[in-house]
Amino acid sequence: MDCLFCKILKGEIPSTKVYENEWIYAFRDIAPQAPTHVLIIPRVHVTSADGITAENSLYVAKIFEAIPEIAKAEGLTNGYRVITNCGENGCQSVKHLHFHLLGGRKLPEQMG
């Protein structure tokens, strides 16, 4: 399967690691849209939020358990935003479920 983030997980494409455990991997976005822009992905291929099921939702739970820890390590004491883009209308460009963790400045109120 030709998935960019699966290749990052396998180490075939370099990335800047921020956090990892048995279930998930977090790395810096290559084109940051805020002072902190981290992508958090499951270690299994799930195409998008639309592919979350009872079988793989543990990975999603592990992502959300790690977010406060990553945010703390990044110094995001004043809050942050977590986003996942899904499908064409959501402007998802990489078809491997990922959550953007954005912070380090006041983010725009508008999200859509």
Give the interface with ligand AMP as residue ranges (CB under 6 A).
4, 13, 15, 29-31, 39, 85, 91-94
Q: Please, which residue, 77 or 110, has the CB nearer to ligand AMP?
A: 110
Displacement of CA 47 from its chain's centroid (Å): 13
Q: Please, which residue, 8 or 76, has the CB nearer to ligand AMP?
A: 8
Which residues fall within 8 angstroms of residue 70, CB to CB, at 6 or more apart? 18, 19, 26, 38, 40, 101
Smallest gap from Cβ 78 to ligand AMP, in A, equals 22
Q: Is 98 a catalytic residue?
A: yes
Q: Please, which residue, 82 or 94, has the CB nearer to ligand AMP?
A: 94
Q: What is the residue type of 34?
A: A
Smallest gap from Cβ 100 to ligand AMP, in A, equals 6
What separation, in Å, do the N-terminal and C-terminal C-alpha atoms of the chain show? 31
- The CB-side HSE value for 33 (13 A sphere, CA atoms) comes to 10
Residues annotated as part of the active site:
98
